[in-house]
Structure 1
Amino acid sequence: MTLDRFIQLWTHRYHKSCHIFKAYFLGYSAAFHFLWRKLFFKKGKDLIGIVRTEHFGDIVAVEPISRYVRSLYPDAHIVWFVKPVFRELVANNPSVNEVFPEFCISERKALLSLGVFDKIFELQFRNNNYCPKCQVFKENPIAQQRNINVYNYFNYGNLLEVFAQSGDLIAPNAVFPADDQPKLYLTDDHRKKVEKLALTKPYLVLHCQSNYILKDWPADKWNQLVAWMAEKYDYQMVEVGLKSNLTVATDKYQNLCGQLSILETAEVIRNAAFFIGLDSGPSHLANAVGTYGMILMGSLNDFPTYNPYSGGYGRQDNAVFIRQEGEVCANLSFDFVQNKIEAVLDHSAHGV
């Protein structure tokens, strides 16, 4: 072994060990925090945890579970476990008493191993319950028992139904028994931030790039779509997301990528006439705020015609899925997508 390789190896081990030590320290500290809280609970009051730490579209999709758990345990102290970057999605949820910003899975394992919580609803399965620094998975016994995993989860329904089953809140392959329309809890701060943008109305919101290449539609086709809509319609077009890969030359287009928080993005979408995008986080925001959606979707791995949404998008009362069975999103032709969007914009009562 060379000296450089030796140093790299032990540097990695040092950082990993420090990370694990911090995780367990935080986990045991959190256990003390919750034990202290329980000392002041009224007799019979439960401490309940809901675990859905990522991704942000999934967190939005399972929001109805917070209301359902609250209906089952009206007097409980409900804690939502989430990654800090997504804390804003649950911070203002009136069904949640406390948000636990999770450092990593090892922290949660340490905390839950002490039996402080009276009930835990894990809305995750092994494949999306992993810390790359600790290199640790957190198993969900319910998901294991029901054989729910990353390779088959859409065989169990939409995201809300899948994660409700993973948390043992509903029976296998059951329909969610309560209001399944996701909600967001926007504040005046979000509204004021978007008002300052002074976006020209009416406008369409575009989301053109997901976090998974198999869900994407090529940038050159998006460029062509924007140019066509700019020529034919009076809508402004506003792109949201982390970053843009478009090269657009029209004053009807505005790039807001990377400039907004998640809930500020939701407020932009809420004020839009339409949302046109992919199966990704912003489409779940659009579903939650009630903006009519045109969603470009294709087959995904072993799921030729999956449906991730509940509520208005899930029933396609408030959305149209632009898809062809067996084709990945990238293979959707421009003409096919154009015709689907044209049908909505020309004939919808919301059109200009």
Structure 2
Amino acid sequence: MTIERFIQLWTHRYHKYTHIAKAHLKGRNARAHFRGVKRRLKKGQELIGIIRTEHFGDIVAAEPISRYVREQYPDAHIVWFVKPGFAELVSHNPNVDEVFKEFCVTERRVLLEGNVFDKVFELQFRNNNHCPKCQVFTENPVALQRDINVLNYFDYGNLLEVFAQTGDLIPPKAAFPADDQPRLYLQPSHKAKVDSLGLREKYIVMHCRSNYEPKDWPAERWNQLVHWLAERYDYQLVEIGLESNLNVKTPAYRNLCGQLSILETAEVIRRASFFIGLDSGPSHLGNATGAFGIILMGALNNFLNYNPYSGRYGREENALLVRQAGLPCAQLPFEFVQEQVRSVLEKSADNAPRVLS
């Protein structure tokens, strides 16, 4: 072994075991905290945990569960477990009493081993219960028993229904039994931020790049679509997301990628005339805020025809799911997507006098 390899090995081990030690300490501290919370509860009042830590579209899709659990346990102290980067999605939810910002799954395991919570509804399965630093997975016994995993989960329904099943809130392959429309709880600060952007009164918001390449549509076709929209319609075209990969040359286009928080992005989507995007987190923001969605979708891994949405997007009351049987999103022809977008925009009464060419 070379000295460089020796240093790399022990540096890795140092960071790994330091992380694990920190996770155990934080887990014990969290256990002490929630024991204190439980002592302060009224007699008969239950301490309930809901675990949905990632990703942000999944957390938005799972929001109706917070209302459902509150209806079932009106007096409970409800704690939502979430990764810190997504905490804003649940911190303003009136059905959640406390947000636990999870350090890693090892911390959660140490916490839950103390049996402090009266009930725990785990809304995820193995692939979302992984800490790469600890190099461990945590299993969800309900998901194991029901054979729900990353290879077959859409066989059990939309995301909300899958999460409710993995949490043992509803029977296997059952429909969600309550209001299934996701909601967001936007605050004045989010509205003030978007006010400061100076967006035009009428704009289309676009999300052109997901965090999972098989869900994407090629950048050159997005470029075509943006230029066609700019030439034909009198809308500002606003791109949101983490990072743009477009090369757009039109004054109608504005790039807001990487400039907004999740809920600030949601407020931009809420105000838009239309949302055009992919099957990814921002499309769930569109569903929750009421923006009409034009969602580019396709066959995904084992799922040739799936629908991740509940509520109005799921029923296609407020969305058009753009796809062709058997094709992945990347293979959707530009002309097909163009015609689908045209069919939506030109049904809008607002567009009749605004067609420029």
TM-score between both structures, scaled by the size of structure 2: 0.98
SS in 2 for 1:294: strand
- 1:8 offset after TM fit, Å? 1.1
- 1:92 offset after TM fit, Å? 0.2
- 1:101 offset after TM fit, Å? 0.3
Aligned residue for 1:46? Answer: 46
Q: Does 1:212 align with 2:212?
A: yes
Aligned residue for 1:29? Answer: 29
The question of whether the paired residues in 2 share the 8 Å contact of 1:54 and 1:83 is answered with: yes
Q: Does 1:233 align with 2:233?
A: yes
- 1:209 offset after TM fit, Å? 0.1
Tell me the distance in 2 between the aligned counterparts of 1:232 and 1:35: 61
Q: Which amino acid is 2:61 matched to?
A: A
Aligned residue for 1:98? Answer: 98
Aligned residue for 1:162? Answer: 162
Aligned residue for 1:199? Answer: 199
Aligned residue for 1:148? Answer: 148
- Cα distance change on mapping 1:161 and 1:7 into 2, 3 Å: same
Q: Which amino acid is 1:131 matched to?
A: C
Aligned residue for 2:125? Answer: 125
Aligned residue for 1:12? Answer: 12
Q: Does 1:335 align with 2:299?
A: no
Tell me the distance in 1 between the aligned counterparts of 2:350 and 2:143: 42
Q: Which amino acid is 1:311 matched to?
A: G
The answer for unaligned runs of 5 or more in structure 2 is none
- 1:247 offset after TM fit, Å? 0.7
SS in 2 for 1:205: strand
Tell me the distance in 2 between the aligned counterparts of 1:307 and 1:191: 30
Question: Could you give the per-residue CA deviations for residues 142-191 of structure 1, whole angstroms, max 9, x where no partner exists?
Answer: 00000000000000000000000000000000000000000000000000
Tell me the distance in 2 between the aligned counterparts of 1:278 and 1:189: 27
Aligned residue for 1:183? Answer: 183
The question of whether the paired residues in 2 share the 8 Å contact of 1:207 and 1:240 is answered with: yes
- 1:226 offset after TM fit, Å? 0.5
Aligned residue for 1:83? Answer: 83
The question of whether the paired residues in 2 share the 8 Å contact of 1:269 and 1:289 is answered with: yes
Tell me the distance in 2 between the aligned counterparts of 1:14 and 1:116: 31
- 1:277 offset after TM fit, Å? 0.3
Aligned residue for 1:71? Answer: 71
Aligned residue for 1:173? Answer: 173
Q: Which amino acid is 1:172 matched to?
A: P
Q: Does 1:246 align with 2:257?
A: no
- 1:348 offset after TM fit, Å? 2.8
Question: Could you give the per-residue CA deviations for residues 218-272 of structure 1, whole angstroms, max 9, x where no partner exists?
Answer: 0000000011010100011100000101111111110000000000000000000
Residues 269-308 of structure 1: pairs in structure 2 closer than 5 A: 269-308=269-308
Tell me the distance in 2 between the aligned counterparts of 1:39 and 1:246: 55
The question of whether the paired residues in 2 share the 8 Å contact of 1:273 and 1:350 is answered with: no
Tell me the distance in 1 between the aligned counterparts of 2:127 and 2:257: 29
SS in 2 for 1:36: helix
SS in 2 for 1:106: helix
Tell me the distance in 1 between the aligned counterparts of 2:164 and 2:34: 25
Aligned residue for 1:310? Answer: 310
SS in 2 for 1:197: coil
- 1:314 offset after TM fit, Å? 0.3
Q: Which amino acid is 1:277 matched to?
A: G
Tell me the distance in 2 between the aligned counterparts of 1:231 and 1:5: 57
When the two chains are superposed, the root-mean-square deviation of aligned CA atoms in Å is: 0.7
Q: Which runs of 4+ in 1 moved over 6 A?
A: none
The question of whether the paired residues in 2 share the 8 Å contact of 1:48 and 1:78 is answered with: yes
Q: Which amino acid is 1:220 matched to?
A: E
- 1:14 offset after TM fit, Å? 1.1
Tell me the distance in 1 between the aligned counterparts of 2:293 and 2:348: 12
Tell me the distance in 2 between the aligned counterparts of 1:59 and 1:270: 18
- Cα distance change on mapping 1:341 and 1:127 into 2, 3 Å: same
- 1:213 offset after TM fit, Å? 0.6
- 1:350 offset after TM fit, Å? 5.3
Tell me the distance in 2 between the aligned counterparts of 1:58 and 1:349: 33
- 1:37 offset after TM fit, Å? 1.2
